[in-house]
Homo-oligomer: A and B are copies of this chain.
Amino acid sequence: MSTRVTLKSIAEDLGLSHMTVSRALSGHGNVQSDTRRAVQERARTLGYVKSAAASAMRGRPTRIVGLLVPNLVNEFYALFADTMARACDAEALQLVIHVTNDDAAVEQQALQRLREVQAGAVVMVPAPQSDRPEPARPEDMRIVQLIRRRDQAAALLIDDAAAISAAVDHLVARGHRRIGFIGADQQLSSGRERLLAYHHALQRHQIAPDHTLTITAPPSFRMGHDGAATLLDGKVSVTALICGGFEISNGALEACLGRGTRLPNDLAFVGYGDPAAYQWIAGGITTIRLPVAEMARGAVRGLAQTLGPTSERQISDSYPAKLIIRRSS
């Protein structure tokens, strides 16, 4: 029965005190160099691993960071998580991922769990909030909001106003006047801002806003799907559609393809986010592309600093989105 290899067990094994072993392995205090070598040697052959639990108890930060995303299937989140995971490995951090399904209760659970393991920092896409009073922000865990912002704490946001504007310009230039929009509702900062950008752009072209062309609700694949279906059902006439969210975009696209809508003949389509496959669907999906990987690397860079000495630098950045024009519009 293999009992755990600890500093003490190595120490007894070598006839030393456990402190010498500690010093030898951590490289901190002074240790005779041959003693050090002997200890290191022994530790390696015995397969010693330092207990993170014990270290954490001594009050040092845990090198655990959390990531909360609505899902991992959408390529934006998947790529973000992928990039972040690689960056974390480089910084010797452990990445704990929780999928919230955009559910505030699940989100709170996840945060709770992360506090139990004393995660030093968490990157999270805040779920749409119900009206309940939101729990106090724990002070011991640095939180960075992603994409949407719920409060004024640190955040990595997308600056997509220009891209949305460009999308409208592009569609208008193609002769469209009845341009639909499906986006998140007012509960989310991202929803508010994208809708605003869309409205402003219409205004610039002297197109009166038509609320039957604007669909907003908590964002999801299903919502995007149903929203597009509603618009296409012919009660209103739309000739173009702009999507204001990752899930929404995929859902709306599926609705179009599923019913045989020809892009761009029947509908000019502008998606949101740029999964690899968009390039190959319907001759290429016009879409709003985000610098996903840069965002993820930026997040970890910020965290790594954060986790060191208590630097109070707020990482708040805004990354520019860009309109990619392809055949679908």
Residues of A within 8 A of B (CB): 2, 4, 47, 49-54, 56-57, 62, 64, 71-73, 75, 78-79, 81-82, 85-86, 89, 92, 94-99, 101, 106, 109-110, 112-118, 136, 138-140, 250, 253-254, 257, 275-277, 279-282
Contact = CB atoms under 8 A, between A and B. Distances in A.
Given A47-B136, A139-B2, A52 B117 contact: yes
Given A96-B96, A116-B50, A79 B73 contact: yes
Contacts of A51: 56-57, 116, 118
Given A73-B78, A281-B281, A52 B110 contact: no
Contacts of A98: 85, 89, 95
B52 A54 contact: no
Contact of A96 (B71, B94, B257): B94
How many copies of the chain does the oligomer comprise? Answer: 2
Contacts of A281: 277, 280-281
A140 B4 contact: yes
Given A97-B97, A277-B275, A89 B116 contact: no
A80 to B, nearest CB: 9
Of A78, A98, A114, which is in contact with the most chain B CB atoms at under 10 Å from its CB? Answer: A78
Given A97-B97, A257-B280, A277-B277, A47 B138 contact: yes
B96 A95 contact: yes
Contacts of A97: 81, 85, 95-97
A25 to B, nearest CB: 13
Contacts of A257: 279-280
A118 B117 CA distance: 12
A57 B106 CA distance: 28
B78 A117 contact: no
A73 B75 contact: yes
22 contacts: A47-B136, A49-B115, A49-B116, A51-B57, A51-B118, A53-B53, A53-B54, A53-B117, A53-B118, A57-B57, A72-B81, A73-B75, A85-B98, A86-B99, A89-B110, A94-B114, A96-B97, A250-B276, A254-B280, A257-B279, A277-B280, A277-B281
Given A51-B57, A56-B53, A57-B51, A113 B92 contact: yes
